[in-house]
Every structure is written in C-alpha cells, then in structure tokens.
Structure 1
C-alpha cells in the first residue's frame, strides 16, 4: 500500500531482509499512525509490542530531551544516575524483596539480552540448554541457536550451543530432557512469535521444580510478554513462579532501544569483570526513557487498564464463529482462525485502517500500546466482522 517511489528507494538502499515495506509511516500519536500519504491507522501491533506508551508520548519525549541536554553517552567505563535507578527499579518489579540477590546487565535489544543470558548460563560450567518448540529468542547466532523455527536456523547452521527442544507445555518431555548436565531451561511464559501461545496451567511451576532438581537455572524470556503487557509486570507473575534469569526488552524503552538481563539468586553473581560487555548498554538516554515508561505505567494505573481492555478485546474477537480460539493475557492477544487466513486478515485489516500481524498461517497477533483507548478497541471490534468477511471471501 506504500507508494512505488518510496518502495523503489527502500529496495535500492536497504538489504532485503524484510521484503518491501507494507507502509511508509510518517508520524504517530498515541495508538495512531499516519502514512506518507496522510492515511490514518490504529496501530494494534505497537511496533511488535515495543511502543508501550504509543507514539510521541510526552513522558518519553520529555525524559529523552532532558537527558540529552544533560548527559548523552558515557560508555561502560562510567555509571549514570538513570542507569542505577533503572536497575534498582527493575529488580523491585521483577522480584520484590530480592534487592540484595539480584543484578542487572543492560543491553540494546532483546536478542542482546538473550546473548548475555546465554553467556551467563555458561558460567555454571555447563553447556546444555533445554528450550521450547515454537520459541523465538532473537536473530544473533547465540539467541538463534535457542530459537526453534527451522527456516530461521537452517541457513546459519552450525549454530553454537548444545540445545534440546521439547514440546511447549509438555512436562513429561521436559522432565526427560533436563539432566544434571543442563545449564538452563529457557521458556517464554507466553510465546509471542508463535502467535501468543500460552502453556498449560502448572507448566511454569513444574519447570521450576525440574530445574531445581538438577541444579539448572530457570530462564524466562519476557522480552515480548513483560513490562505490563499482560496486566502484570511479568507474564510469569500470574503463575507465581520466580526464575533465576529474566530477559526484557521491547516495551521496556517504549521505542528507545534497550534490553536487560536480570540475574536472581546465584545467577546474579556469575558474571565477573571481563566476562561480558557492551558499548551502548545502559546508555543514560535509553535508561531515562525506560524510567519514564515504568513511571507512566504506575502513575496512570495502566496494569489495570490493560487487564480490563484486554478482556473486552478478547471477548469481542472470540464472538465471531470464524474464530476458533482467542489466547493471551492483557494486550498480548492471539486470534486462532478456523482456516489458514491470517495473511488475508492482516491485509484486510490494513485496508480498513488497522495494523495487526499474521504471526502464523492461522494465528493473528495483537500487541497494541498499553495506552490504547476503549474507543479505539471498540472501533476495531466493530470493524472485525467486515474484516473477516473480506478475508474469508
């Protein structure tokens, strides 16, 4: 739907890793974006769960502008107040009461947070990791080794690591795969790339017990599901399970690149000077943006808002007979269709002025800004039957 001139310029200047863009966007405000031709869309994907406060939120604009005028980049030879404050805040949110037994490493993205976590698991002296079928943990070589999708992995094999994949949610398979040589068990409490797939009740608790039995670390990748997206700071909080490692990114910076690897308990002290590093991680500007995100979620009571609005969206989407199931929590939502029409649904939605994602042939993913309004949610629900009519025609 983008103009041919912009498409040609894009294809002439950028590597072909994503194919031609669906749109060339010019500006955004809240949960709305406008393309270069001035057409308006409701952004129900949020930059793939990144834009927690939507576009151009004044809290982020002010935080970034103020910090840039004070201190921009300082490298990892020095510390800054935003870096320290954000680390302390994340520890208090991820594991309340564990302040003295938790430490944070800041990176620039989700895949970098997972690279740090993978290296952290190697500090146990073990190399084996058990990961899940349907998982997605990033595109760099280490995080790709932990990602199950064959199409992503095959062009770059051999990949690092000794990784065993087991069916997501299968306790028996997990029990059989984890041994005394296992360094870590890696789980997304909600699988985002797979189309918002939730594990069966009790699976995360069982994983905690299995990891403990074998002295392995339990690692939750909350890059997509964390930072209030499910109505909890972490998706795993609803299960009451505390891991040894948590990785965060996406919504953490509200659009400013930042990731975090958080070690709890013994995992907090596995890294020593020289074991890992980053040039831009912990940048004062990125940390200031993340602090603005956290404060806004707290000040505007967005966890409750996400919970209530998520229920409304899921119930409304599920009411159509062409929807087999609706999965997820809060504003991380998967719509399972009765036929393989997800690409057609995403295209029809875009023509109707709504941005959604066809995660798999039969699953549509929604991850809108946490500030999505009830009116925008209702507008999408009102348009939903016509979108399905067009997609299923």
Structure 2
C-alpha cells in the first residue's frame, strides 16, 4: 500500500487526511483493500452508500442507463429527471425540485432561492452546523477554522446556539431571509434538534415571514429511520437540501421547495450543467426503489435501535445519541479508536477528539452490528 500512498502524494493537492488504506472492491457492507483484507464499513462513504457496495439491482439499473443516455444538459427534457422529481414529490412532501451534483451545491442553491424568494439578505445558522465548503455553504458553517481562511464570505450571517429557543428568538428578525439547520447535526457529532426547538422555529417563521431551510443532506433517504428527519418533527420546511444517500454513492444532489417558494423563481436564476443528468437520476430512482422494496427505512429504525443498545453496553462509551442508523458516541480518544479499529478490519469515523459517528449502509443487520461492537470492545 505504501507505493499507492507515495503516488497519491505526488499528484494530489493534500486537502485530505486519509486513513492509511487503499480500497479496490466493495460488496454489501464490506470493503476490500489492495492486499485483499476485508473491512466492515460503518462509514458508508459518509452516509452515502445507502444500499451498501455494488448492490446487484442498483448496478443493473445504472448499467442499463449507461447504454442509453448519460448526458445532454438542461437545454433539453429527459425522462429520468421528470420521473425522479415525481417520485421525490411522493416521498418528500415537497412540491418542486432542482437537481445538482452534491450537498454543498444543494445548500448553495437553497441560499440563493431563499434570497430571491424573500428579497432579504440575512441568514441565521447554528453552533455546530456544517453545510459544506463552497463559499455560500461555508458562510453558514459554524467552525471558524473552516471559514476564516476564506473570508470575506456571504454576509450577513448570524449564528444562534443550537437547541436554544432563547438565543434563536434573539437572532431572527424582519430582515431574516432564512434559517438553515440540520435536523440532526452530523459533523458536530450527531446531535438531534429537540421538538421544542423545531416548534419554536416554525412559530417564529410565521411571525417574521422568513423561510426555513432543512439541510437533509446527511439525514435523508432513510438514514434516521424515516424517509427524512423532518418526519420526526411533523413539519414541512420551505426549502430542503438533499444529497449523499440520494444516489447510493453516485454523485447527485437536489433541492425541494414549496409551491409558494417556486412561484417566486424565474428561468435563468440558477442552473447546473451536469445536474439531473439521466444517469444520476436513474441512480437515484434505483436507490429509492430498492429502499422501498427491501424496507430499508424500517430496517434503519430497527437496526439503529439495536446498535444504540449494544453501544450503550460497552465500557468506555460515555453517551450514545442519534436516530436510526445515524449514531454518535462520546469516547475518550475517538481518532485513536478509529486507527485501532481499522487495524482490526472495522471502519468507523471520528467527527472530533471525543465523538465517533456510525452511519453504516442501511442494509446492515444484527450480524454486522455484533461484529462491529465485538471489535470495539476488544480495543485497549
């Protein structure tokens, strides 16, 4: 593997701090490195490989579309894009859609849409938030170490304390275009919003007439034991950003909006060359269909409860939180646990010095959970 590390360093900008492993093959919940070693994947491409690796039905659908049509641009209509929007209307409850290629792009589009629809400029985001690394998405991302090297960013932006009704009430006003939040904060360590907090957010929306943007990039498509995390709260945002699990690892993102927001948008105000191309849309349609056929939303809820139970039994785990198969655990030395787990054939992710994140494929079952917990319990 060292040869591959050296080759990578010679040709790549060193933006990433990668784990010391080179993968060449995946099957189900498992990955294989260049030396043939097998690993249980509890990261799933950061909550993206919904169906696991190389799901046969997914591969068949995408392969079939590769033989038909890959890309023509949005100068023209294509059938998969229309079919995907119709399916998303059914499962999201949103009314109209725009397609792009990633979560950051979906957030960028959401911010632009909010400004155009309201005629206002100000955004309110939250402590612990992470919305992406492009300039607009970065502007509403909490950590200063991400933002500071690239300032000046989009302004005005104010940050309120996550889950603090009192601080939220101080930050929103008549100048607010939109409040953007993750219903479950992923990069912060998997922290769900409280129902009280969400209820107050929507009350304030009605009072000040701003828009609510839900960033469901990480929480969407069954990850939390519901199709989307908003269902845990019984609310409908004005704008919803989607990506990651949307194509089970194939790059695609999207934005859903209410009819009231859509009516205020005009042709030419936003676009994407590759967004919603036929291949990406078929990958997303196949993902959704397989989730439905194999009842993976239900499995996410059931297996997620089992994962939480098993983690709570472990020595060294101080707190377990999350929904469905989006679980965070508080530990003493998360990066060290990630390294030692890798040596034993388990992939987990550290979001901070004391937080592990578990976001396995939605096909994971008790066998995979038991294997993962056995490895974690063996770490010294």
Q: TM-score, normalised by structure 2?
A: 0.98
Alignment of 1:122-201 (within 5 A): 122-123=115-116, 124-201=118-195
Structure 1 position 311 matched with structure 2 position 305: yes
Aligned counterpart in structure 1 of residue 344 of structure 2, from 347, 352, 359: 352
Secondary structure of the residue that 2:195 maps to in structure 1? coil
Secondary structure of the residue that 2:67 maps to in structure 1? helix
- 1:236 deviates by 1.5
**Aligned residue in 2 for 1:85:** 83
- 1:20 deviates by 4.6
- 1:198 deviates by 1.3
- Aligned counterparts of 1:22 and 1:103: Cα–Cα separation in 2: 43
- 1:313 deviates by 0.6
**Aligned residue in 2 for 1:377:** 369
Q: Are the equivalent residues in 2 in contact too, given 1:244–1:264 (CA < 8 A)?
A: yes
**Aligned residue in 2 for 1:6:** 4
Q: What is the aligned-residue RMSD (CA, Å)?
A: 1.1
Secondary structure of the residue that 2:99 maps to in structure 1? strand
- 1:321 deviates by 3.6
Alignment gaps of 5+ in structure 1 = none
- Aligned counterparts of 1:229 and 1:180: Cα–Cα separation in 2: 34
Secondary structure of the residue that 2:185 maps to in structure 1? coil
**Aligned residue in 1 for 2:22:** 24
Q: Please, which moves more after superposition, 62-71 or 200-209? A: 200-209
**Aligned residue in 1 for 2:104:** 111
Alignment of 1:63-102 (within 5 A): 63-95=61-93, 102=95
- 1:210 deviates by 0.9
- 1:270 deviates by 2.9
- 1:384 deviates by 2.1
Q: Are the equivalent residues in 1 in contact too, given 2:325–2:358 (CA < 8 A)?
A: yes
- 1:209 deviates by 1.0
Secondary structure of the residue that 2:132 maps to in structure 1? coil
- 1:21 deviates by 4.4
- 1:322 deviates by 1.6
**Aligned residue in 2 for 1:233:** 227
Aligned counterpart in structure 2 of residue 285 of structure 1, from 265, 275, 279: 279
Structure 1 position 36 matched with structure 2 position 34: yes
Secondary structure of the residue that 2:133 maps to in structure 1? coil
- 1:161 deviates by 2.5
**Aligned residue in 2 for 1:202:** 196
Aligned counterpart in structure 2 of residue 263 of structure 1, from 253, 257, 260: 257
Q: Are the equivalent residues in 2 in contact too, given 1:342–1:362 (CA < 8 A)?
A: yes
Secondary structure of the residue that 1:184 maps to in structure 2? strand
- Aligned counterparts of 1:11 and 1:149: Cα–Cα separation in 2: 27
- Aligned counterparts of 2:170 and 2:256: Cα–Cα separation in 1: 28
- Aligned counterparts of 2:113 and 2:344: Cα–Cα separation in 1: 46
Secondary structure of the residue that 1:88 maps to in structure 2? helix
Q: Are the equivalent residues in 2 in contact too, given 1:10–1:20 (CA < 8 A)?
A: no
Q: Are the equivalent residues in 2 in contact too, given 1:130–1:165 (CA < 8 A)?
A: yes
1:57-98 deviation digits (Å, cap 9, x = unpaired):
112211111111111101010121110011111111111xx6
Q: Are the equivalent residues in 2 in contact too, given 1:253–1:289 (CA < 8 A)?
A: yes
**Aligned residue in 2 for 1:248:** 242
Decide whether aligned partners of structure 1 residues 306 and 203 sit closer, same or farther in structure 2, where only a CA change above 3 A counts.
same
- 1:268 deviates by 2.2
Secondary structure of the residue that 2:308 maps to in structure 1? helix
Q: TM-score, normalised by structure 1?
A: 0.95
- 1:271 deviates by 2.2
- 1:373 deviates by 2.7
- Aligned counterparts of 1:376 and 1:45: Cα–Cα separation in 2: 13
Q: Are the equivalent residues in 2 in contact too, given 1:130–1:186 (CA < 8 A)?
A: yes
- Aligned counterparts of 2:323 and 2:269: Cα–Cα separation in 1: 37
- Kindly report structure 1 stretches of 4+ aligned residues shifted beyond 4 Å: none
- 1:19 deviates by 3.1
Alignment gaps of 5+ in structure 2 = none
Q: Are the equivalent residues in 2 in contact too, given 1:7–1:20 (CA < 8 A)?
A: no
The count of residues paired between Structure 1 and Structure 2 equals 379
